[in-house]
Amino acid sequence: KTGAFTFDPGFMSTAACKSSITYIDGDKGELMYRGYPIEQLAVNCDYLETCYLLKHGELPSKAQYDDFTKTVREHTMVHEQLTRLYQGFRRDAHPMAILVGMVGSLSAYYQDSLDISNPEHRTIAAMRLIAKMPTITAMAYKYTIGEPFMYPRNDLDYSSNFLHMMFATPCEKYEPNPVLARALDRILILHADHEQNASTSTVRLSGSSGANPFACIAAGIACLWGPAHGGANEACLVMLDDIMKQGGVEKIGEFIAQVKDKNSSVKLMGFGHRVYKNYDPRAKLMRETCHEVLNELGLQDDPMFKLAMALEKIALEDEYFVSRKLYPNVDFYSGIVQKAMGIPVSLFTGIFAMARTIGWIAQWNEMIGDPEQKIGRPRQLYTGAPRRDVKPMAFR
Ligand code: SDX
């Protein structure tokens, strides 16, 4: 028994770790950060408030929020030398490849404060990562389109600042649309943490050896990139695009037949989940956000959105999906929202990484701060050859 929840021993035997940060009930479709339901956080808080909650375990008072956001603002710029590191990448490099490299390189710029046994250093690293991820991500985008980097504007809130660094140029005034900024902030909240998913487990495992936080977060970014994980929102848009090219809604039947075909590896990207065997609560909120953004931009008749709604309807009614409990997950609508906002598909997972940075940091901190924690060392089920002796090559 751990306070409010009772785990059956069987569950604990498969649990990777104990954590007090995020709770998911996959069957009920419930998600809570530090005990607060995601539905309430997404409506009543902003992303930095959620960062404070995940990092400190409590929602901030006004004074604590002001202090936290002030510290973030003081660290939004990156070391000027780091801006030159982008030159080493090809212009057509995938932004996730750039993010893995750039975040890992932060270890080289801030090595004077990387003693992870020092809680001070852990806090400095955490605040630097929260503050710099939008700058590094926007710079990755600007670099790939050959536009000059835009410096952070500390008079803007976190999400507006990111949109400004993404879409402003030195040639003309650009003021971020507050509706889009609020939508982005909600996307960040919904992606902020998610218990022991693959990338968080990667961060924990690499952190358990004592590696520095920047290197651990870079490892998490690498894992998130995969299409079965964070790369699903990009893969979902590619899937919708392909169906549109083949004829759109009229072609859904053929596509669904491919998905159902036992011999085909085609999956309905943005559907299914390792844990949620009910509707992903984030997908519901993402769907609302999608409607808001499309209405704001006059895109409510967007054919891709209509296609997505048609796919969702089939998945919620068709026996193949219903029997396998394949509901839309967070990635299904997040791609459509971001595409409508003008964010390139290749950057969707980068924004997921930006959002998840606080979750990775909170989980890494919890692990490092646990006096009983040891280096992770998963075992295996050996299925190889039995013991045998080496024969000299002449006899092989
Ligand atoms: C994220 O872990 C997290 O918390 C992750 C995440 C986070 O916030 O960190 O929530 C973010 O990664 C969300 C998931 C994004 N991925 C996708 O949308 C990719 C598409 N989804 C699938 O790859 C799949 O659903 C998984 C990997 C997400 C989950 O797979 P499971 O739960 O292991 O399911 P399974 O592989 O055991 O499949 C069960 C059955 C199989 O069919 P049968 O063998 O029973 O005939 O369902 C089928 C699968 O083939 N199936 C799908 C499907 N997902 C599973 N069939 C069609 N389309 C799909 N998407």
- HEC-encoded secondary structure of the chain: CECCECCCHHHHHHCCCCCCCEEEECCCCEEEECCEEHHHHHHHCCHHHHHHHHHHCCCCCHHHHHHHHHHHHHCCCCCHHHHHHHHHCCCCCCHHHHHHHHHHHHHHHCHHHCCCCCHHHHHHHHHHHHHHHHHHHHHHHHHHCCCCCCCCCCCCCHHHHHHHHHHCECCECCCCCHHHHHHHHHHHHHCCCCCCCHHHHHHHHHHCCCCCHHHHHHHHHHHHCCCCCCCHHHHHHHHHHHHHHCCHHHHHHHHHHHHHCCCCCCCCCCECCCCCCCCCHHHHHHHHHHHHHHHHCCCCCCHHHHHHHHHHHHHHHCHHHHHCCCCECHHHHHHHHHHHCCCCHHHHHHHHHHHHHHHHHHHHHHHHCCCCCCCCCCCCCCCCCCCCCCCCHHHC
pLDDT attached to residue 232: 87
CA of 271 to the centre of ligand 1 (A): 7
Tell me, using a 6 A CB cutoff, whether residue 259 lines ligand 1.
yes
pLDDT attached to residue 330: 87
The best mutation among 236, 255, 329 to test binding of ligand 1, ranked by most ligand atoms within 8 Å of the C-beta, falls on 329
Catalytic option among 94, 191, 194, 273: 273
Q: Which two tokens stand for residue 215?
A: 């290197």
CB 251 within 8 A of CB 295: no
Tell me, using a 6 A CB cutoff, whether residue 277 lines ligand 1.
no
Tell me, using a 6 A CB cutoff, whether residue 273 lines ligand 1.
yes
Per-residue pLDDT of the chain (396 residues), as tens digits, is 344 455 454 454 456 789 999 999 999 999 999 999 999 999 999 999 999 999 999 999 999 999 999 999 999 999 999 999 999 999 999 999 999 999 999 999 998 888 888 999 999 999 999 999 999 999 999 999 999 999 999 999 999 999 999 999 999 999 999 999 999 999 999 999 999 999 999 999 999 999 999 999 999 999 999 988 988 888 899 999 999 999 888 889 999 999 999 999 899 999 998 888 888 999 999 999 998 999 999 998 888 888 988 998 988 899 999 999 998 888 888 888 999 999 999 999 999 999 999 999 999 999 999 889 899 999 999 999 999 999 999 999
Residue whose Cα lies nearest atom 22 of ligand 1: it is 272
What is the reported pTM? 0.91
CA of 274 to the centre of ligand 1 (A): 6
Q: How far apart are CA 119 and CA 167, in angstroms?
A: 37
Ligand 1 atom, smallest distance to 329 CA: 13
Give the Cβ contact number of residue 302 at 10 Å. 16
The reply to whether 331 belongs to the active site is yes
ipTM of the shown complex: 0.92
pLDDT attached to residue 15: 63
Tell me, using a 6 A CB cutoff, whether residue 311 lines ligand 1.
no
Q: How far apart are CA 37 and CA 265, in angstroms?
A: 35
Tell me, using a 6 A CB cutoff, whether residue 229 lines ligand 1.
yes
Tell me, using a 6 A CB cutoff, whether residue 329 lines ligand 1.
yes
CA of 328 to the centre of ligand 1 (A): 10
CA of 70 to the centre of ligand 1 (A): 40
Residue whose Cα lies nearest atom 40 of ligand 1: it is 324
Ligand 1 atom, smallest distance to 198 CA: 2
* Class of residue 357 by CB neighbours under 10 A (exposed 0-12, middle 13-18, buried 19+): buried
Catalytic option among 157, 193, 280, 331: 331
pLDDT attached to residue 13: 45
CA of 20 to the centre of ligand 1 (A): 26
CA proximity to 275, closest of 35, 31, 12? 31
* Class of residue 312 by CB neighbours under 10 A (exposed 0-12, middle 13-18, buried 19+): buried
Tell me, using a 6 A CB cutoff, whether residue 268 lines ligand 1.
yes
Residues in contact with 150: Cβ distance below 8 Å, sequence separation at least 6, in sequence order? 138, 142, 164, 165, 166, 168, 169, 170
pLDDT attached to residue 82: 93
Q: How far apart are CA 339 and CA 228, in angstroms?
A: 20
